[in-house]
Structure 1
């Protein structure tokens, strides 16, 4: 009877929400009067009550599953096998984990396999993988964000500036009444930014990924005067000449701290961590979003949500690997050469301080696929490992078998940029010389394309510093350079907008998937040529 009453109460709350008119824009206008303000307040209170109930329900599910990880993963395995049942499925729902591993060998989602077959080992998830893990990440992420920044989810406190939200599971319209000024699904990026600029009281900005938020701020600088004119003229909405003047004044003072000058109450930027985003977060934090926190509700990879972020106050994202679907295994990574170990382990067996490659079971085709995402265990949530993401094995550079990892290369590039006077790194991409046929009879080498702020030209001395830094961080690379087997890295400065064009080209690819991971090593010649065509020096 109690459960029935709770269900009836929930249905009643949802009905009230659905009957209330969409007031997100109306409550921004002063002329609507106290009646609309009262309805908007009621709408927000009801929406928040439903969110709290749903988040508490998901929190209980997480506690139960994370306290009994082994049992939870066995249940997930049974679910995967049940979903995959058919004439091609060699296993039954009663299969244990050992038999499952023995019957299904590991496969690798290597770039070479994708280019040769034209297919992905894991299907693209352009629908944002609307599953239990995505819903859990969204609800618990909203609850955690509200706990850390209580005023962010107040009416009109948050605006999304990209057409797609960073929350892994899109919620029905009533949920947008909680905080958002704009409804991103039906609007272009320029219109979304314009509406956000009209709201000086914002406390949070949303963007699907950090690289897309970087594009938004670069576009804001490039088109600032047009945006100011539109705001002053009231296109759309009422004319706001004073707000237009504030925008012009804020832009005149330069990029550093621009977000807080435009929105003095701003506290946090919400973006989805999807691989290759750290560079954009660093650039935003050093310039436009200086003084703001960054929060990613989840870490997502091809195939779905891998981990939940329950700690918005952490400066660098850490995530709980959950035992629910999709089924996650961990492949121990050996130190040094990172060759794979003989067998995978389950979540409860993970050891603090160790590095592992994520292995995901795709229930549609029943394959155990090594994703290439490497994590380091930094703690535990009950019996579940808490991890930080280190890098992607698919983004390794190797012209002579040196296997320059993504995180190692980024460390070297960061050391070099610090030595370039006045420079701030915005974006970079790497290409092995064989892709561009640029060796010209010389030793194979790396072609590195960088987008910088504060530096318009690179001297030969500055270019050479990257190669020296690569030798400092990689003894293998240093040995190959000493023997002449590998040539010096060649650094190219590209113009503004080059990496935005690269992302547009990537999004147009048939194999484009959600989330839109940012590649740092380009394997396709046409993408490398795109950056090459935008070289300034």
Structure 2
């Protein structure tokens, strides 16, 4: 078992954790908390070093590694594909198993329900690898982030793909382990002005947290001042109120002056949310995603937090990944998939994942562009999702094409900055606000809305995009 040595090393951690909870009653036990942190971190570094060596070997011998991943898939199949189990020939594999889409049923005639690509159990090692290497990379880029009490998670979901076998606060995370109340998580974070890192499941979830904070901030400050639960912190409550009164821009750094990085998991389609956070609430902060997680699980690793956000290495191990070339300007399907070593820099590909249980080659719809290489494996950036369209004036338009056209149109007006957009019914947004705070009737027509819920609005007809499309910008 992969983690047996690690688990043996951590046998004493539960006992130390219980002692740590009693440190308020006996200050002399504080050194046990420090010991617990050092033991946990030492075990993590040891496990991450081993995983890094395995990654180096697999990326240097990518063809052999993908052959092993394919063999792993074939041997674990629950469906009878006897001829395939005896061979790991890629051509035979492709000929026997046609490509399917994620939304497609496995066998339409039998009426079977589609299985999600690759179960969480099968992807356990990939998720663990992403978590271990991500934590070490984060600590290397921001050495003080994982110190005791310097990290807080503000959503129920975690940005780390695989939970570690020790309490979260062992490695510096604030809050009560196992809590199911998102409000309690946010209160724990607000009580701690010395945070270095803020964690959330995804950037979209963090965006919701900050929007809710602006709505309920006064109430939360009152709870902090009253000390329910916990000790009353009237001075900290006053700091929270003062930070909120100055508006959304730079709010995170006013609440936590020592904050350095925001950690979220990139699940594709998060770029607009990251841009919105970076432009307003998290202005001046770095963003880090430990991995890229598509429909089937962890597919990409982020080994360099200092690099631009959104660059991921596609590892050659399990799950078995193929690349389907995307033809520019057309939805036609390419003749055949490619292996990782065959990817070309600058080209775009749709990710194809093989489900081990059902032995199904599934097109995920996630399109990536190859921007570099790590040994023999491609480094990619997420571009868009295929077949994901927006309804504009009753016509289906590809999300990527619409976003590109909208960005060009907004760029025609000096000072305009599009933070995010989405299509809504015309009846939802029939009133706009001008810089003179005068309501202006817009008329009943579909238009695109930016997520600029603060400050002063202006109304711009995007006639360069569509005759009746309008956009709210800040």
Instruction: Report the TM-score range of the alignment, normalised by the length of the smaller protein.
Output: 0.7 to 0.9
Report the 3-state secondary structure (helix = DSSP H, G, I; strand = E; otherwise coil) of the residue aligned with 1:78.
helix
> Is 1:18 equivalent to 2:11 in the alignment?
no
Whether the aligned pair in 1 keeps the contact of 2:324 and 2:350 (CA below 8 Å) is yes
Within a 5 Å distance, the mapping from 1:285-324 to structure 2 comes to: 285-324=278-317
- 359, 363, 368: which one aligns with 1:366: 359
Within a 5 Å distance, the mapping from 1:252-291 to structure 2 comes to: 252-291=245-284
Partner of 1:156: 149
Partner of 1:387: 380
Whether the aligned pair in 2 keeps the contact of 1:165 and 1:184 (CA below 8 Å) is no
User: Displacement of 1:417 after TM fit?
Assistant: 4.6
CA distance in 2, matches of 1:45, 1:270: 22
Aligned CA distance change for structure 1 residues 490 and 456 (closer, same or farther; 3 Å): farther
Report the 3-state secondary structure (helix = DSSP H, G, I; strand = E; otherwise coil) of the residue aligned with 1:57.
helix
CA distance in 1, matches of 2:383, 2:399: 9
Gaps of 5+ in 1: 1-5, 434-444, 471-486, 495-537
CA deviations on 1:310-331 (whole Å, 9 max, x unpaired) are 1111232200001111110001
Report the 3-state secondary structure (helix = DSSP H, G, I; strand = E; otherwise coil) of the residue aligned with 2:35.
helix
Within a 5 Å distance, the mapping from 1:101-112 to structure 2 comes to: 101-110=94-103
Partner of 1:228: 221
User: Displacement of 1:236 after TM fit?
Assistant: 1.4
TM-score normalised to structure 2 length: 0.86
Give the number of aligned pairs: 453
Whether the aligned pair in 1 keeps the contact of 2:106 and 2:115 (CA below 8 Å) is no
User: Displacement of 1:49 after TM fit?
Assistant: 0.4
Aligned CA distance change for structure 1 residues 128 and 99 (closer, same or farther; 3 Å): closer
CA distance in 2, matches of 1:491, 1:118: 44
The structure carrying a bigger helix percent of its residues is 1
Aligned CA distance change for structure 1 residues 97 and 163 (closer, same or farther; 3 Å): same
Aligned CA distance change for structure 1 residues 356 and 180 (closer, same or farther; 3 Å): same
CA distance in 1, matches of 2:411, 2:95: 49
Partner of 1:410: 403
Whether the aligned pair in 2 keeps the contact of 1:22 and 1:177 (CA below 8 Å) is no
CA deviations on 1:282-324 (whole Å, 9 max, x unpaired) are 0100011001100000111111111000111123220000111
CA deviations on 1:153-188 (whole Å, 9 max, x unpaired) are 000110100011110111123454111002464231
Partner of 1:147: 140
CA distance in 2, matches of 1:192, 1:113: 41
CA distance in 2, matches of 1:263, 1:25: 25
Partner of 1:179: 172
Gaps of 5+ in 2: 427-444
Within a 5 Å distance, the mapping from 1:329-478 to structure 2 comes to: 329-397=322-390, 404-417=397-410, 425=418, 427-430=420-423, 448-454=448-454, 459=459, 462=460, 464-465=461-462, 467-468=463-464, 470=465
CA distance in 1, matches of 2:25, 2:296: 45
User: Displacement of 1:260 after TM fit?
Assistant: 0.7
Aligned CA distance change for structure 1 residues 406 and 399 (closer, same or farther; 3 Å): closer
CA distance in 1, matches of 2:111, 2:451: 31
Within a 5 Å distance, the mapping from 1:84-123 to structure 2 comes to: 84-87=77-80, 91-110=84-103, 121-123=114-116
CA deviations on 1:425-484 (whole Å, 9 max, x unpaired) are 554333799xxxxxxxxxxx976444323467664xx1x31x51x4xxxxxxxxxxxxxx
User: Displacement of 1:110 after TM fit?
Assistant: 4.8
TM-score normalised to structure 1 length: 0.77
Whether the aligned pair in 1 keeps the contact of 2:117 and 2:353 (CA below 8 Å) is no
Report the 3-state secondary structure (helix = DSSP H, G, I; strand = E; otherwise coil) of the residue aligned with 2:48.
helix
Aligned CA distance change for structure 1 residues 318 and 458 (closer, same or farther; 3 Å): same
User: Displacement of 1:363 after TM fit?
Assistant: 1.3
Whether the aligned pair in 1 keeps the contact of 2:352 and 2:362 (CA below 8 Å) is yes
Whether the aligned pair in 2 keeps the contact of 1:47 and 1:175 (CA below 8 Å) is no
Partner of 1:197: 190
Partner of 2:438: none
Partner of 1:75: 68
Whether the aligned pair in 2 keeps the contact of 1:417 and 1:423 (CA below 8 Å) is yes
Whether the aligned pair in 2 keeps the contact of 1:320 and 1:387 (CA below 8 Å) is yes
User: Displacement of 1:135 after TM fit?
Assistant: 0.7
Report the 3-state secondary structure (helix = DSSP H, G, I; strand = E; otherwise coil) of the residue aligned with 1:223.
helix
